[in-house]
């Protein structure tokens, strides 16, 4: 731009120089006050100030404000500058307003009117200044005022490319800061999506960022972007760098646009259209091929740009998880990075391979790099890379390599950084139990683990050892033997004393015939550790002594002497004193028969989910705790929750901790659910497909998830009342404040459902979660879904999430059993047209008998065998419970595998219910 008189502003330069030359804070204040007085007088006295002088004084006020001083005048003069036709004056006016926004409503209206005038200007420079100002302020008033003006600029055919770019980025800013206030017209959706095909790559790059944000709020509305995104990506990756010279960064064509397009496609499942999927696979294949080509430049910018596109492509391949060849190629490419000189590349490669290890297609390919990962664990200098190596070893572990990996992790644990030791202990404990073929090996590993890293062994770990020993009769003798040997070490960790004390108290009699471990030797060895332990451990040891009274009557008087000792009988610790007093009295007054009854051996613990997985997800909330693909057999592991006399209940412990998210795909055979928390969803091991209606076929599900928050639900229905637990997990690195959640029933739904939800905490800490319980009562049959609204502040920015709350009528179905005669008698009685609804539809998924059976059972029906003459057909019944009536329902599902079609017929005792149930079920098969 040509030099103008206003560009110099000599007075401003002199003022800044004076401030810099001040020798003290007092001198600076005097100079500032003098200048403020001068500016105030000029604004008041001289009404004929020209644009240059106003601009100069406004600049001085802005500089003073940036030094940390309050400014209480000059706002109107800055607003007046917005009306100027000179670029420099208008620029300073917008700069002042963007930095010092006055809260006066009157002033805001003036500003908004000036901005609107500039947005309608034919001068693209003025339009861009206005857009930048709106984006910089980005508050609710701006979003409401320009919710129509800015989108029109974006989709108008007359708008210049530079303005379209700014408009797209401005909308993105408003969407991030005020998503509830920015309501885009649905008629503009197709035109916004079409910007992906804009000839100007700058516009396309800005548009894809906007669409990516909008997709997260309304994925179905913007589903049309998939085809255009794949098409645009294909044109870029198949071109040479000379085709995009203006947008080529160190020989890489449009790397930022490629990365954004690949990230956009990760918001959706793999395309259903074979041609689009084939084209996308070709793009990904081309990106992998280009990664094998020699570098065109030795500069780091070239490799960074190329690797950025490559890693995002690999993320998309992992997200799709359906092309085995691409997954294996991606794994091989990442394997080459494991020995790269760049630390960042090694870190990213390990992180991506952790995800690849969870895929059945690429798990074996990941295992080929086991030795390289182990070497990285031993030789890597950067602790974060070593931690990712531990994660990858954990993820790639299965039955074939479990012993090698556990041994390597144990060896490294002795020299590992203190920051990752607790996490490593949990992973070693989980792997050694999950893949234990011989539980003697498991016990050896666990006691060695406690010996090496006793300070980092949490209560859940040694509770779990006790669980396994109590539940497996074949290892109890061996457990007592090695626990006794572990106690003989000169330096014995307190956690080892706890484990040994518990095991000897239960099973010490199994080794008592050995002259090296007689009852008295066991007692003396254990008591030699007593005074070195904390009060909690002493309480446990006192319980062991009492068990010895029952197991070994010959040492009863030795134990009574200990209990009578002042250090116990008159201990300052109330728990120790109470135990000593009660145990002593019990040993004195009870007969051997009564003692044997009171102190009988602990029964096996009930089978529940392992608490170690919960604890691990507290350490790594955004990663799956069960990294390996191979499922655990119930014959080789006993997942139980521990309840020990002298330790807190694990279920209570798990609730007290902020653990994020346990797997929801564990089958719940007894119809009840655990007091645990939710985790990222994994694919069900027993089904080939997942329902697209959340919470329809399961008792627990993830009902909403984005980059900030994950919302899970668990439900259990009794008649017409459903008890639910909602889990809100904060996935971000910032606390969520002013958190509120509301489930509303509008219209007819108000008389059909009754909600009763407990209050919820207002703050969710970073990487933590909170739980909300409540009940939903079904007053009568319903069709519509309640609306859920969640608001919170994230990083000081307000956020709002609205979606339909997935409570369907089938949640109130109770299975009904009947024989063939009763079934067809009831079927014939429900013969009115309004009581029956039938639908014939094509199969959307593979027609597998077990899958269909599982889905029908998950829906709530009973599955009656021997009812239909055709064994391939499904028949069943259920009763829908409401507070006012019970609705009987019968169904018949007839698959035709040759035609790949289904016929679903449902009859119900209440008009219209059969149609609603068919609408819920038809897209599940």
Consecutive 10-residue runs of the chain (925 residues): their mean pLDDT?
Answer: 53 89 91 90 80 88 90 86 89 89 71 90 91 88 86 87 92 86 81 89 91 88 90 85 71 90 91 90 91 86 90 91 87 89 90 88 89 88 89 90 91 87 89 88 92 87 89 91 91 91 92 91 92 91 92 90 87 89 89 86 76 66 39 31 32 31 29 31 30 75 88 89 90 86 88 88 87 90 89 84 89 87 84 86 86 87 81 88 89 87 90 89 85
Residue 551 lies in a domain: yes
Which domain covers residue 741, as residue numbers? 694-807
Strand 813-815 to 886-896 pairing? unpaired
How far apart, in whole angstroms, are the C-alpha atoms of residue 847 and residue 688?
10
The CATH number that applies at residue 705 is: 2.60.40.1230
Shared-domain flag, residues 487 and 595: yes
Residue 752 lies in a domain: yes
Residue 242 lies in a domain: no
Give 3-state DSSP helix, strand, coil % of the chain, rounded to 5.
Answer: 55, 10, 30
Shared-domain flag, residues 909 and 839: yes
**Which of 775, 807, 839 marks a domain boundary?**
807
**Which of 396, 428, 448 marks a domain boundary?**
396
What is the reported pTM?
A: 0.62
As given in the structure block, the two tokens for residue 289 are 């091929």
Give yes or no for a contact between 369 and 335, defined as CB atoms under 8 angstroms apart. yes
Give yes or no for a contact between 257 and 205, defined as CB atoms under 8 angstroms apart. yes
| H-only helix segments in 728-877 | 820-829, 849-859
- pLDDT attached to residue 679: 32
Q: Per-residue b/e over 823-842, b at no fewer than 16 CB within 10 Å?
A: beebbeebeeeebbbeeeee
The DSSP letter of residue 660 is: -
Residue 409 lies in a domain: yes
Instruction: Tell whether 671 is in a known binding site.
Output: no
Residue 217 lies in a domain: no
Shared-domain flag, residues 522 and 412: no
* E-state strands within 638-685: none
How far apart, in whole angstroms, are the C-alpha atoms of residue 93 and residue 77?
8
Instruction: Tell whether 57 is in a known binding site.
Output: yes
The number of C-alpha atoms within 13 Å of 151 and in the hemisphere containing its C-beta is: 21
Instruction: Tell whether 538 is in a known binding site.
Output: no
Residue 669 lies in a domain: no
- pLDDT attached to residue 103: 58
The CATH number that applies at residue 891 is: 3.30.310.10
Q: Which of 872, 846, 744 is nearest to 805 (CA)?
A: 744
Shared-domain flag, residues 35 and 59: yes
Shared-domain flag, residues 592 and 505: yes
Strand 700-705 to 874-881 pairing? unpaired
Cβ within 8 Å of residue 868, ≥6 positions away:
874, 875, 892
How far apart, in whole angstroms, are the C-alpha atoms of residue 153 and residue 126?
13
Shared-domain flag, residues 446 and 495: no
- pLDDT attached to residue 641: 28
Instruction: Tell whether 10 is in a known binding site.
Output: yes
How far apart, in whole angstroms, are the C-alpha atoms of residue 413 and residue 446?
13
The number of C-alpha atoms within 13 Å of 467 and in the hemisphere containing its C-beta is: 26
Instruction: Tell whether 249 is in a known binding site.
Output: no
Shared-domain flag, residues 427 and 543: no
Shared-domain flag, residues 582 and 495: yes
Cβ within 8 Å of residue 17, ≥6 positions away:
none
Residue 582 lies in a domain: yes
Q: Which of 187, 175, 122 is nearest to 146 (CA)?
A: 175
To the nearest 10°, the Cα dihedral for 252, 254, 260, 266?
-60
- pLDDT attached to residue 7: 55
Cβ within 8 Å of residue 438, ≥6 positions away:
none
Number of domains the chain contains: 6
Give yes or no for a contact between 438 and 478, defined as CB atoms under 8 angstroms apart. no
What is the DSSP code string of 328-378? HHHHHHHHHHTT-S-HHHHHHHHHHHHHHTTSTTTHHHHHTTHHHHHHHHH
- pLDDT attached to residue 245: 66
Shared-domain flag, residues 490 and 444: no
Shared-domain flag, residues 498 and 402: no
Unique residue bearing structure tokens 């401003």 = 12
Unique residue bearing structure tokens 């960042």 = 344
How far apart, in whole angstroms, are the C-alpha atoms of residue 175 and residue 146?
12
Give yes or no for a contact between 454 and 493, defined as CB atoms under 8 angstroms apart. yes
Residue 338 lies in a domain: yes
Q: What is the largest CA-CA distance in the chain?
A: 111
Shared-domain flag, residues 735 and 825: no
Instruction: Tell whether 59 is in a known binding site.
Output: yes
The DSSP letter of residue 510 is: G
**Which of 66, 81, 100 marks a domain boundary?**
100
Instruction: Tell whether 11 is in a known binding site.
Output: yes
How far apart, in whole angstroms, are the C-alpha atoms of residue 123 and residue 175?
26
What is the DSSP code string of 810-849? GGGEEE----HHHHHHHHHH--SGGGEEEEEEE-SS---H
Shared-domain flag, residues 367 and 446: no
Instruction: Tell whether 793 is in a known binding site.
Output: no
Q: HEC states along 116-164?
A: HHHHCCCCHHHHHHHHHHHHHHCCHHHHHHCCCHHHHHHHCCCCCHHHH
């Amino acid at each position: 731009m040509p030099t103008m008189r206003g560009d110099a502003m000599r007075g401003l330069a002199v003022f800044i120089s004076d401030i810099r030359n001040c020798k003290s804070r007092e001198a600076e204040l005097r100079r500032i006050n003098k200048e403020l007085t001068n500016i105030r007088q000029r604004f008041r006295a001289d009404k004929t100030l020209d644009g240059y002088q106003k601009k100069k004084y406004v600049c001085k006020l802005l500089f003073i404000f940036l030094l940390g001083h309050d400014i209480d005048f000059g706002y109107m003069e800055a607003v007046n500058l917005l009306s100027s036709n000179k670029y420099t004056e208008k620029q300073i006016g917008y700069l002042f307003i963007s930095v010092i926004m006055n809260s006066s409503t009157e002033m805001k209206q003036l500003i908004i009117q000036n901005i609107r005038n500039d947005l309608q200007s034919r001068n693209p420079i003025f339009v861009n200044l206005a857009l930048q100002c709106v984006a910089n302020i980005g508050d609710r008033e701006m979003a409401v005022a320009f919710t129509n003006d800015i989108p029109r600029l974006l989709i108008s055919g007359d708008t210049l490319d530079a303005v379209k770019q700014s408009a797209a980025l401005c909308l993105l800013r408003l969407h991030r800061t005020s998503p509830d206030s920015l309501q885009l017209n649905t008629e503009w959706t197709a035109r916004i999506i079409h910007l992906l095909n804009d000839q100007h790559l700058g516009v396309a790059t800005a548009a894809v960022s906007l669409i990516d944000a909008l997709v997260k709020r309304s994925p179905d509305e913007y589903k049309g972007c998939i085809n255009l995104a794949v098409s645009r990506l294909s044109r870029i990756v198949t071109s040479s760098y000379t085709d995009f010279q203006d947008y080529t960064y160190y020989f890489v064509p449009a790397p930022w646009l490629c990365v954004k397009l690949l990230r956009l496609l990760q918001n959706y499942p793999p395309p259903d259209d074979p041609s689009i999927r084939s084209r996308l696979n070709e793009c990904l294949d081309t990106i992998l091929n280009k990664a094998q080509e020699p570098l065109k430049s030795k500069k780091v910018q070239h490799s960074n740009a190329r690797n950025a596109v490559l890693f995002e492509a690999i993320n998309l391949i992992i997200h799709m998880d359906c092309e085995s060849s691409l997954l294996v190629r991606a794994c091989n490419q990442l394997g080459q990075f494991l020995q790269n000189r760049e630390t960042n590349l090694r870190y990213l490669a390990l992180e991506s391979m952790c995800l690849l290890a969870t895929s059945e297609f690429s798990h074996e390919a990941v295992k080929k790099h086991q030795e390289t990962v182990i070497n990285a664990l031993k030789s890597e200098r950067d602790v974060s890379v070593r931690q990712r190596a531990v994660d990858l070893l954990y993820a790639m572990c299965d039955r074939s390599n479990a012993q090698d990996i556990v041994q390597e992790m144990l060896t490294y644990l002795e020299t590992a950084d203190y920051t990752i030791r607790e996490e490593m202990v949990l992973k070693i404990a989980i792997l050694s139990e999950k893949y234990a073929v011989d539980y003697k090996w498991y016990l050896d590993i666990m006691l060695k683990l406690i010996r090496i890293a006793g300070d980092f062994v949490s209560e859940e770990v040694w509770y779990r050892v006790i669980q396994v020993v109590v539940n497996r009769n074949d290892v109890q003798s061996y457990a007592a033997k090695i626990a006794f040997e572990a106690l003989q070490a000169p330096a014995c960790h307190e956690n080892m004393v706890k484990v040994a004390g518990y095991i000897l108290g239960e099973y010490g009699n199994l080794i008592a015939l050995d002259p090296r471990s007689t009852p008295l030797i066991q007692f003396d060895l254990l008591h030699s550790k007593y005074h070195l332990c904390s009060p909690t451990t002493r309480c446990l040891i006192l319980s062991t002594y009492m068990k010895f009274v029952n197991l070994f009557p010959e040492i009863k008087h030795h134990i009574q002497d200990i209990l009578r000792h002042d250090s116990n009988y008159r201990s300052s610790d109330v728990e120790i004193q109470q135990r000593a007093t009660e145990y002593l009295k019990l040993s004195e007054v009870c007969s051997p028969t009564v003692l044997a009854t009171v102190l009988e051996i602990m029964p096996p613990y009930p089978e529940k989910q392992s608490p170690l997985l919960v604890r691990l997800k507290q350490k790594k909330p955004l990663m799956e705790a069960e990294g390996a693909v191979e499922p655990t057999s119930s014959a080789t592991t006993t997942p139980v929750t521990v309840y020990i006399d002298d330790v807190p209940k694990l279920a209570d412990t798990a609730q007290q901790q902020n653990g994020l998210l346990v797997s929801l795909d564990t089958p719940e055979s007894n119809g009840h659910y655990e007091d645990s928390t939710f985790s990222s969803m994994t694919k069900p091991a027993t089904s080939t497909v997942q329902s697209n209606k959340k919470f329809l076929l399961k008792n627990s599900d993830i009902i909403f998830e984005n980059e900030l928050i994950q919302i899970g639900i668990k439900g259990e229905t009794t008649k017409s009342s459903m008890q639910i637990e909602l889990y809100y997990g904060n996935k971000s690195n910032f606390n969520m404040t002013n958190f509120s959640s509301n489930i509303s029933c509008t219209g007819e739904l108000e008389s059909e459902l009754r909600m009763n939800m407990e209050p919820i905490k207002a703050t969710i800490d970073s990487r933590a979660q909170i739980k909300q319980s409540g009940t939903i009562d079904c007053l009568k049959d319903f069709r519509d879904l309640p609306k859920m609204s969640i608001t919170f502040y994230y990083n000081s920015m307000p956020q709002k999430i609205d979606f339909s709350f997935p409570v369907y009528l089938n949640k109130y179905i109770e299975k009904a059993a009947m024989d063939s005669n009763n079934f067809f008698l009831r079927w014939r009685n429900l013969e009115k047209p309004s009581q029956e609804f039938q639908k014939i539809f094509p199969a959307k998924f593979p027609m597998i008998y077990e899958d269909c059976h599982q889905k029908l059972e998950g829906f709530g029906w009973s599955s009656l065998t021997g009812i239909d003459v055709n064994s391939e057909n499904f028949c069943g019944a259920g009763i829908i419970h409401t507070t006012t009536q019970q609705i009987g329902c019968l169904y018949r599902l007839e698959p035709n595998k040759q035609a790949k079609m289904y016929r679903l017929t449902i009859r119900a005792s209440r008009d219209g219910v059969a149609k609603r149930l068919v609408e819920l079920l038809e897209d599940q098969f």
